[in-house]
Structure 1
Amino acid sequence: MWEWEYVYELLPKLLRALPATLAAAFGGFIMAVLLGILLAMASRSPNKFVKRATTGVVDFIRSTPLLVQLFFLYYSLPMLTPLAMSAFATGVIGLGLHYACYLSEVFRSSIDALPKGQWEAATALNLSKFRTWFAVILPQAIPPVIPIMGNYLIVIFKETPILSAITFVELLMRTKNETSISYRAFEPYTITGLIFIVVSLLLSLGVSRLEKRFRDKPAG
C-alpha cells in the first residue's frame, strides 16, 4: 500500500542526493566534451602512430562496459599504482572517459563535413596548427553538434545510477539505503524513477530549445 506520510518523510532525503547526482553528470559531461574534442583532433593527426593509437583507444573503450571501466578505476587502479580516487572523482572520470569516445566520433564527423577550403584558407594565411584548429575549424564544427551534445548529457545523467556500484552516494544509492532501513521498496523506487523522469524531461526541453535556437539562427 502507498503511504503518503512515508513519502513526505522520504522525499527530502532523496532530493538531498540529487545535487551530487547532477554534479557527477555535469562533471562527466564537461570532461567528455573536452576530451572528445582532443580525441577528434588526434584522430586527424598526420602522425600515423598517434592516429592509430587514438583509434585503438576509442574502439577499446567503446567496446567495453562502463561498469567494468568503473570497477577498474576504483578497485584495480589503486592496487596497480599509488593513485587512489574518491568515488565521486572516479565516477566523473569514468563517465567522462567513456562518453568522450562517443563524442569524439560526433566531433570528427562534424569536422570532416567542413569544406576543404577552410583548411586551404588557413594554410594560405600561414596560420599555425593551433590557430587553425581553435580559430577556424572548431568554431565551425562544434555549433552544429550542440543538440547531439545535449542528448549525450541526458544519457550521462541517466547512467549515474551505475555509480552506486562503486559506493558513490547518488540518488539510487540513497534509495537503496532508505529501503534497507524501512524495508519498503515501493515508494522509494517509484519516487526515484519519477525524479529521473522529471529531470530528464527538463534536460530534454532545454536541449530542444537550444536545438531550435541554433536551427533558427540566420546563416552568417
Structure 2
Amino acid sequence: MEKWRWDRFFETFPYIWDGLLVTIQFTLLGSLVAYVLGLFFAIVRGMRIPVIDQLLWAFIEFVRSTPLLVQIFFLYWVVRPDLLGALPVDTQRLVVGVTALGVHYACYTSEVYRAGIEAVPTTQWEAARALSLPVTRTWTDVILPQAIPRVLPALGNYTIAMFKEVPLLSAIVVLDMVYQVKTVYAASAGGAGPEAWFAVGLTFFALSYPCSILVRKVQQRVGTV
C-alpha cells in the first residue's frame, strides 16, 4: 500500500485554485437561474391555469426524478449541437452547465417558493382584492415581500447543494476543481491519488460549512416554512 504523501497533498492546491473560480462562477449563475425560474414556476402553478399547470407539474416531477448527470448529457449531446453549435466551445459548455444546474434546481426551488406563498395569510390576498390592487402589484407589493424572506434558508441550502454538484460538469470538460485535478494527474501512475482528492474534498468543506452556518443563522432570524 502506497504511503500517504503530504507533498502531493499540498502541491494539489494551486490546481484547485485554478478551478475554484470556475466552480463559483457556475454556482452563482446556476443559482440565479434557479431562483428566477423557480419563482416563475411557482407563480404560474399558483394561477392553476388548466393544461399549463398539469404540463408544468409533469415537467417538474420529471426533472426531479431523473439524475442531474443524465440531464447534463442530454443538453450537451442532444440539444447543444442544434441550438448552440455556432458558439465557441467554452461558451457552449457555460450555457449547458448553467442551464442544467439552473433548471434542475428551479424544479426544487419552485416548491420552496410555493410553500412560502401558501404560508402568506389569506387575509393578505383578501385585503389586496378589497383595495382593487392589480394582480402584478398584489404579487410584488404584498405577497412576495412576505413569502421570500421565509424561504431564504431553503434557497441557501440549495445553493450549497448546487456548489457541491458542479463537479458533475467535469463530464463535459468544464474546468472546475475536479477536472483540473484529474487532468494534472492523468499521466501519473494511478491518476490523482487520495491526497489530491482529499485536498479537493477539504476545499469543498472549507467553503460549504461556513455557508451552512450562515444559512442556519438566517433561518433563526427570519424563520422558515
The TM-score normalised by the length of structure 1 is 0.91
How far 1:102 sits from its partner (Å)?
0.7
Matched, 1:203 2:211: yes
Matched, 1:82 2:88: no
Greater CA drift, 193-202 or 175-184: 175-184
Aligned residues: 214
Matched, 1:152 2:162: no
User: 1:178, 1:188 within 8 Å by CA — same for their partners in 2?
Assistant: no
**How many percent identity over aligned positions?**
39
Which residue does the alignment assign to 1:109?
115
Greater CA drift, 184-193 or 129-138: 184-193
Which residue does the alignment assign to 2:43?
41
Residue type matched to 2:39 in 1?
Answer: I
Greater CA drift, 4-13 or 120-129: 4-13
Unaligned ranges ≥5, structure 2 = 86-90
Matched, 1:54 2:70: no
**Separation (CA, whole Å) in 2 of partners of 1:16 and 1:83:** 26
Query: The residue matched to 2:83 in structure 1 has which SS?
Result: coil
Matched, 1:136 2:142: yes
How far 1:202 sits from its partner (Å)?
1.8
Query: What RMSD in Å do the two structures reach over aligned CA positions?
Result: 1.6
How far 1:182 sits from its partner (Å)?
3.3
**Separation (CA, whole Å) in 2 of partners of 1:8 and 1:106:** 40
User: 2:39, 2:113 within 8 Å by CA — same for their partners in 1?
Assistant: yes
Query: The residue matched to 2:163 in structure 1 has which SS?
Result: helix
The TM-score normalised by the length of structure 2 is 0.89
Residue type matched to 1:143 in 2?
Answer: P
**Separation (CA, whole Å) in 1 of partners of 2:51 and 2:78:** 28
Deviations 1:65-110 (A, max 9, x none): 111111111111134x333452122111101100100110111111
Query: The residue matched to 2:175 in structure 1 has which SS?
Result: coil
Structure 1 runs of 4+ aligned residues shifted over 6 Å read none
Deviations 1:184-220 (A, max 9, x none): 51221111111111111121122122223324xxxxx
Matched, 1:6 2:8: yes
